[in-house]
């Protein structure tokens, strides 16, 4: 795992995600987005995403980092 400090104000590329060869070959679209929300808004946002955009997968980064 590699966690980096990001300068959000720069709007420049602050980080890159790398995957093992073949790890993302079968994903339907190579788009990744990040969203920062207050903790009390996480569950409602994920519920709305699932309802309105069922083809979108959301991952709580906090959970992924805790498992790593």
Which residues of the chain have a pLDDT value below 50? none
Q: Nearest to residue 3, comparing CAs of 67, 66, 65?
A: 65
pLDDT one-digit tens code per residue, 38-57: 989 999 999 999 999 998 88
Long-range contacts, stretch 54-60, CB < 8 angstroms, 24+ apart = 55/28
How long a stretch of residues is the chain?
A: 68
With a CB cutoff of 8 Å and minimum separation 6, the contacts of 15 are: 4, 6
- pTM (global) more than 0.85: no
CA-CA distance, 53 to 28, in Å (whole number)? 14
């Amino acid at each position: 795992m590699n966690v980096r400090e990001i300068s959000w104000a720069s709007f420049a590329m602050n980080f890159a995600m790398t995957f093992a060869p073949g790890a993302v070959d079968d994903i339907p679209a190579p788009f990744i987005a990040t969203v920062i929300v207050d903790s009390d808004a996480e569950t409602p946002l994920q519920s709305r995403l699932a309802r309105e955009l069922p083809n979108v997968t959301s991952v709580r980064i906090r959970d992924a980092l805790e498992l790593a």
